[in-house]
């Protein structure tokens, strides 16, 4: 009743799972991740305990194939299960039970797996697999490209309702002080993958803003500028405009800072109050040019 992708980024070591289904709030039962351990997708006749039990086994050092076999061997409904386990190092094990409603299948590659059941046609899983090779961007964006390929090929026979995406960041990202992983869910929507794409873009804009702030604090002006430009180019909200204005003012880009601050305050006047409450020299300069609130 679902199709999904498990993926590990070989360059950074980040990994995650993304899923779409014609079922309310698929995030509640199908996708599971744990830092330093791995990711699990459990679907078809879904048993959520495959998620936490699979991760527990991986955490104990059990090979994914052995972990999956131990889950299946004692399960009287295993013929109707579809499950994928991805270890943090990229090792995989995937199972599609013979009683899963057609079309049901899975494919695997180096550090990735795609799978689905109750699909419109037999092209869905192969198209998802083909999308892996040309998907670009962050690991979250690449997994969405895979889901989009599945939907374009026909997707779930019943249609679409919910989607979810979870990503465990690399240890390097955490060491650098960046935000933790991604956990986004669209529980009920006419276009859940499209909405998930929007949320991933907004999420990336906030992350770029945070990286700009961190870079400027450490004296890396070039990286701060690059991240601020990225944040502004992605879909975002008034919050990003406000704080980006503060950072651009620190970089001496007063015209750009003024324009962003004016946009923020015009759209949400309470940000003018926030500007006054900051009480910093940078905020004072912006307020003096913005005019009284």
Tens of pLDDT along 3-24?
999 999 999 999 999 999 999 9
CA angle 135, 137, 140 (to 5 degrees): 90
Q: For residues 139 and 238, state if they share a domain.
A: no
Please choose, from the candidates 255, 272, 262, the residue with its C-alpha nearest in 3D space to the C-alpha of residue 241.
262
pLDDT tens digits for 214-242?
Answer: 999 999 999 999 999 999 999 999 999 99
Query: Which whole number is the average pLDDT over 258-262?
Result: 97
Q: Both 60 and 176 in a single domain?
A: yes
Task: Mark whether 6 and 92 lie in a shared domain.
Answer: yes
Residues 48 and 129 in one domain: yes
In this structure, is residue 198 part of a structural domain? no
Q: b/e for 194-208, b at 16 or more Cβ within 10 A? A: bebbebbbbbbbbbb
Domain-embedded: residue 199: no
Q: Is residue 54 part of a domain?
A: yes
Is 200 inside any structural domain?
Answer: no
Looking at 157, 190, 223, the residue that finishes a domain is 190
- Domain of 82, CATH number, reads 3.60.20.10
| Pair 31, 169 in one domain | yes
Domain total of the chain: 2
Contact 31, 166 (CB under 8 A): yes
Regarding whether 133 and 267 lie in a shared domain, the answer is no
Cα–Cα distance measured from residue 26 to residue 117, given in angstroms and rounded to the nearest whole number: 14
How much is the pLDDT for 293? 61
Asked whether residue 195 is domain-assigned, the answer is: no
Q: Identify whether 240 is part of a domain.
A: yes
**φ, ψ for residue 173 (rounded to 5)?**
-65, -40
Query: Domain range spanning residue 214?
Result: 205-290
Are 43 and 76 members of one domain? yes
pTM of the model: 0.93
């Amino acid at each position: 009743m679902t199709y999904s992708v498990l993926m590990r980024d070989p360059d950074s070591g980040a990994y995650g799972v993304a899923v779409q289904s014609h079922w309310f709030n698929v995030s509640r039962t199908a996708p599971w991740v744990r830092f330093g351990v791995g990711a699990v997708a459990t679907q078809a006749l879904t048993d959520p305990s495959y998620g936490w039990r699979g991760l527990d086994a991986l955490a104990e050092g059990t090979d994914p194939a052995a972990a999956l076999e131990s889950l299946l061997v004692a399960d009287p409904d295993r013929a109707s299960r579809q499950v994928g386990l991805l270890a943090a190092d990229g090792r995989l094990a995937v199972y599609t039970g013979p009683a899963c409603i057609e079309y049901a299948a899975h494919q695997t590659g180096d550090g990735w797996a795609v799978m689905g059941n109750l699909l419109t046609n037999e092209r869905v899983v192969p198209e998802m697999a083909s999308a892996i090779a040309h998907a670009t961007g962050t690991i979250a964006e690449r997994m969405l490209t895979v889901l989009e390929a599945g939907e374009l090929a026909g997707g779930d026979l019943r249609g679409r309702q919910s989607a979810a995406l979870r990503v465990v960041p690399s240890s390097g990202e955490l060491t650098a002080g960046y935000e933790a992983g991604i956990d986004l869910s669209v529980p009920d929507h006419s276009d859940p993958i499209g909405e998930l794409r929007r949320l991933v873009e907004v999420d990336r804009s906030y992350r770029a803003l945070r990286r700009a702030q961190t870079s400027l604090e450490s004296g890396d002006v070039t990286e701060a500028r690059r991240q601020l430009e990225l944040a502004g180019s992605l879909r975002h909200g008034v919050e990003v405009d406000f704080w980006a204005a503060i950072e651009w003012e620190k970089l001496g880009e007063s015209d750009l800072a003024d324009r962003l601050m004016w946009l923020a305050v015009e759209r949400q006047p309470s940000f003018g109050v926030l500007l006054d409450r900051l009480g910093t020299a940078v905020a004072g300069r912006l307020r003096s040019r913005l005019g009284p609130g």
